[in-house]
Amino acid sequence: MTTSRRFADRKVERFEKNITKRGAVPEASTKKGKDYPVGPVLLGFFVFVVIGSSLFQIIRTATSGGMA
When the pLDDT of each residue in the chain is averaged and rounded to a whole number, the result is 81
Quote the CA–CA distance of 7 and 1 in Å, as a whole number. Answer: 13
**Considering the domain boundaries, does residue 6 fall inside one?**
no
**Considering the domain boundaries, does residue 28 fall inside one?**
no
pTM of the shown model: 0.42
Q: pLDDT tens-digit profile of 16-45?
A: 877 766 666 666 665 666 667 888 899 999
- The total number of structural domains in the chain stands at 1
Contact 6, 14 (CB under 8 A): no
**Considering the domain boundaries, does residue 16 fall inside one?**
no
Question: What is the span of the domain harbouring residue 64?
Answer: 38-68
**Considering the domain boundaries, does residue 65 fall inside one?**
yes
**Considering the domain boundaries, does residue 49 fall inside one?**
yes
Q: pLDDT tens-digit profile of 14-24?
A: 888 777 666 66
**Considering the domain boundaries, does residue 1 fall inside one?**
no
